[in-house]
């Protein structure tokens, strides 16, 4: 398996925006950027057009290979390649072994216009006929790349974001220490090698639950031992019932009794409950130690593993005691989804659909195709859904503004979950809450009539509930919401959908008791 800190190569014809996109991408991921053409000119002290005209293309390609090799012997970075760099098989094989290659393309008219505005920086002055010939000659070569992005309608910022979604790599900033997010197949079973590549200390505590341990305790322990790690597993009972102060005291005691100190690292291997518990333990034990999130449920991957929220439940409600404490790294392995029971898959898809409603209509439509379509490519689904939350929390890490849109479905949903004594799963509660809050949005005139039915139909395609349970009445719902942690100055605020892809945060609902009663009555 390739390591996490890999090179990212931006490749494609002249004029597709390799350099401008590469600079933005490197800045976003907080890693170095190199333009191969610039490195050639800097180190040869010659302009590339001069090398072509005086020495010929063959000599230029030799120089290009030498300079590429120099870069690849350095630290992982974003590298903008020349338009023909990877025609050389040795260059292609070398680059492929060290990272991801993204092929940028663009419509011919766009390429022609960009080149016309930038001729002095091109290897050759290319007229339209020469450009057509060049594109025809390289068409088969460019078509051979798996990862492609059309830059025609995209700014460098948009293209860089599409690359991050394509390769599954993000950098989250704004909460003190920035941390990377990697989405990589089979990373759970290669955790020892990964930690070693990140220079993580050798003393590890893995917090998990019994269900996850049944699948992954042996391979994870074997991988850690192989890489020289001393690991202790702390195994809890599965489910929301473990997310309490008693479990936290047990974790603290186990950490202390097993020699975990301030140089040690906690790994949260499990779903949302484990992530919340392990993160809270890390934030409080010895006044804070490093932790790594390794979510194993869809729900945790796309939601709770991102943003640094940690906590436990109190008898009065969910997540009422906790901290903002970002992890050192989040490592997501889509391969573990294959081990999830169908009920957990559906549970997680509620949050995925919610993310689509918030800001990605394409993701919503993808989910609308049903489970049989979604399960063909879990990696794509997870990357798209995580990207929604990553973008939001980078803008608003401490929930002072736009991050509140992520609470869509949670005000009613958390109340439903709590009143059911957690017999209704979190995802099911969120699908109920999202649909009911869409109905509220229609009643308030924020959303057009019919939006709630569109949302209901999407949840129905993956067999998720949307109606309030019969055993919960509107008075219970209202009183349960009094403990919602999202209240401000004693007032309760909602995030309500306006349309697919847009949500309005911080909405105060007038006559809430009456509105809830009407929801319950089906009005």
Q: In this structure, are 324 and 394 located in the same domain?
A: no
Domain stop point among 135, 167, 199: 167
Tens-place pLDDT, residues 22-43: 999 999 999 999 999 999 999 9
Question: Is it the case that residue 272 has pLDDT exceeding 90?
Answer: yes
Question: Is it the case that residue 2 has pLDDT exceeding 80?
Answer: no
Burial of 426 (0-12, 13-18, 19+ CB in 10 A): buried
**For the residues 258-279, what does the mean pLDDT come to?**
97
CA distance 325 to 282: 8
Question: Is it the case that residue 484 has pLDDT exceeding 60?
Answer: yes
CA distance 450 to 442: 8
CA distance 188 to 30: 25
Assess if residue 322 is contained within a domain: yes
Confidence of residue 113 (pLDDT cuts 50, 70, 90): confident
Q: In this structure, are 118 and 258 located in the same domain?
A: no
Assess if residue 345 is contained within a domain: no
Confidence of residue 298 (pLDDT cuts 50, 70, 90): very high
Tens-place pLDDT, residues 38-50: 999 999 999 998 9
Q: In this structure, are 79 and 194 located in the same domain?
A: no
Q: Which residues contact 498 (CB under 8 A, 6 or more apart)?
A: 441, 446, 447, 504
Assess if residue 204 is contained within a domain: yes
Across 14-28, 427-441, 473-487, least confident range:
473-487
Tens-place pLDDT, residues 400-430: 889 999 999 999 999 999 999 889 999 999 9
Q: In this structure, are 162 and 248 located in the same domain?
A: no
Work out whether strand 179-183 and strand 169-172 pair parallel, antiparallel, or are unpaired.
antiparallel
Share of the chain above pLDDT 90, in %: 84
Joined together, the tokens standing for residue 338 give: 């294959």
CATH number for the domain that contains residue 366: 1.20.1090.10
CA distance 6 to 72: 10
Question: Is it the case that residue 304 has pLDDT exceeding 60?
Answer: yes
Domain stop point among 130, 152, 167: 167
User: Nearest CA to 267 among 289, 239, 241, 300?
Assistant: 289
CATH number for the domain that contains residue 121: 3.40.50.300
SS3 at position 159: helix
Question: Is it the case that residue 121 has pLDDT exceeding 60?
Answer: no
CA distance 367 to 431: 13
Angle at the Cα of 302 from the Cα atoms of 344 and 169, rounded to 5 degrees = 135
Which residues constitute the domain of residue 187? 169-340
Q: Rounded to 10 degrees, what is the CA torsion of 249, 251, 252, 253?
A: 90
Tens-place pLDDT, residues 70-104: 999 999 999 999 999 999 999 999 999 999 999 99
Assess if residue 398 is contained within a domain: yes
Number of domains present in the structure of the chain: 3
Q: In this structure, are 334 and 270 located in the same domain?
A: yes
Assess if residue 2 is contained within a domain: no
Assess if residue 459 is contained within a domain: yes
**pLDDT at residue number 1:** 42
Q: In this structure, are 291 and 392 located in the same domain?
A: no
Q: In this structure, are 330 and 461 located in the same domain?
A: no
Question: Is it the case that residue 140 has pLDDT exceeding 50?
Answer: yes
Q: Which residues contact 8 (CB under 8 A, 6 or more apart)?
A: 25, 29, 77, 78, 79, 99, 100, 102, 163, 167, 169
Tell me, letter by letter, the H, E, C secondary structure of 303-353. Answer: HHCCCCEEEEEECCEEEEEEEECCCCEEEECHHHHHHCCHHHHHHHHHHHH
**pLDDT at residue number 290:** 98
Q: In this structure, are 153 and 266 located in the same domain?
A: no
Burial of 406 (0-12, 13-18, 19+ CB in 10 A): buried
SS3 at position 150: strand
Residues belonging to the chain: 523
Assess if residue 1 is contained within a domain: no
Instruction: Compute and round to an integer the Cα radius of gyration of the chain.
Output: 26
Tens-place pLDDT, residues 218-251: 999 999 999 999 999 999 999 989 999 999 999 9
Q: In this structure, are 300 and 375 located in the same domain?
A: no
Q: In this structure, are 387 and 492 located in the same domain?
A: yes
Q: In this structure, are 153 and 207 located in the same domain?
A: no
pTM of the model: 0.90
Partners of 7 in beta bridges: 99
Q: In this structure, are 152 and 178 located in the same domain?
A: no
Domain stop point among 129, 145, 167: 167
Backbone angles phi, psi at 288, to 5 degrees: 120, 115
**pLDDT at residue number 126:** 64
Tens-place pLDDT, residues 163-221: 999 999 999 987 778 999 999 999 999 999 999 988 899 999 999 999 999 999 999 99
Assess if residue 240 is contained within a domain: yes
Question: Where does residue 317 fall: left (phi above 0), alpha (psi -120 to 50 degrees), or beta otherwise?
Answer: left
CATH number for the domain that contains residue 333: 3.40.50.1970
């Amino acid at each position: 398996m390739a390591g996490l800190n890999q090179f990212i190569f931006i490749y494609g014809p002249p004029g597709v925006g390799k350099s401008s996109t590469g600079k933005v991408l490197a800045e976003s991921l907080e890693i170095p950027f190199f333009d191969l053409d610039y490195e050639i000119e800097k180190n040869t002290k010659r302009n590339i057009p001069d090398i072509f005209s005086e020495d010929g293309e063959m000599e230029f390609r030799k120089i290009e290979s030498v300079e590429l090799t120099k870069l690849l012997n350095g630290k992982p970075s974003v590298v903008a390649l020349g338009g023909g760099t990877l025609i050389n098989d040795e260059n292609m094989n070398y680059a492929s072994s060290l990272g991801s290659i993204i092929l940028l393309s663009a419509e011919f008219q766009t390429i022609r216009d960009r080149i016309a505005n930038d001729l002095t920086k091109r290897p050759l002055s290319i007229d339209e006929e020469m450009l057509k010939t060049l594109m025809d000659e390289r068409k088969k070569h460019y078509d051979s790349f798996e990862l492609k992005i059309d830059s025609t309608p995209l700014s460098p910022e948009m293209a860089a974001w599409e690359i991050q979604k394509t390769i599954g790599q993000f950098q989250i900033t704004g909460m003190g220490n920035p941390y990377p997010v990697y989405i990589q197949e089979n990373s759970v079973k290669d955790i020892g090698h990964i930690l070693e590549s990140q220079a993580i200390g050798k003393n590890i505590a893995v917090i998990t639950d019994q269900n996850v341990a049944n699948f992954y305790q042996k391979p994870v322990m074997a991988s850690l031992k192989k890489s020289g790690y001393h690991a202790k597993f702390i195994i809890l009972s599965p489910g929301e019932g473990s997310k309490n102060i008693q479990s936290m005291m047990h974790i603290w005691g186990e950490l202390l009794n097993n020699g975990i100190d301030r140089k040690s690292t906690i790994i949260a291997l499990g779903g949302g409950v484990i992530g919340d518990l392990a993160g809270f333990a890390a934030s409080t034990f010895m006044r804070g130690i490093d932790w790594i999130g390794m979510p194993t449920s869809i729900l945790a991957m796309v939601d709770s593993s991102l943003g640094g929220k940690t906590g436990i439940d109190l008898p009065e409600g969910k997540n009422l005691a906790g901290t903002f404490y970002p992890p050192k790294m989040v490592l997501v392995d889509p391969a573990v989804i294959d081990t999830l029971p169908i009920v957990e898959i559906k549970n997680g898809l509620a949050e995925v659909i919610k993310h689509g409603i918030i800001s990605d209509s394409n993701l919503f439509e993808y989910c609308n195709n049903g489970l049989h379509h979604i399960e063909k490519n879990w990696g794509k689904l997870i990357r798209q859904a995580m990207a929604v939350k990553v973008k939001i929390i980078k803008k608003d890490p401490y929930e002072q503004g736009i991050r509140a849109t992520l609470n869509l479905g949670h005000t009613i949903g958390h109340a439903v979950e709590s009143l059911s004594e957690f017999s209704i799963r979190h995802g099911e509660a969120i699908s109920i809450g999202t649909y009911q809050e869409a109905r509220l949005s229609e009643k308030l005139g924020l959303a057009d009539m019919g939006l709630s039915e569109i949302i209901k139909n999407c949840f129905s395609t993956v067999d998720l509930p949307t109606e309030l349970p019969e055993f919960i009445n509107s008075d219970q719902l209202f009183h349960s919401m009094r403990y919602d942690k999202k209240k401000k100055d004693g007032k309760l605020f909602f995030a309500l959908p306006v349309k697919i892809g847009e949500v309005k945060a911080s909405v105060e609902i007038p006559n809430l008791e009456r509105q809830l009663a009407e929801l319950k009555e089906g009005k």
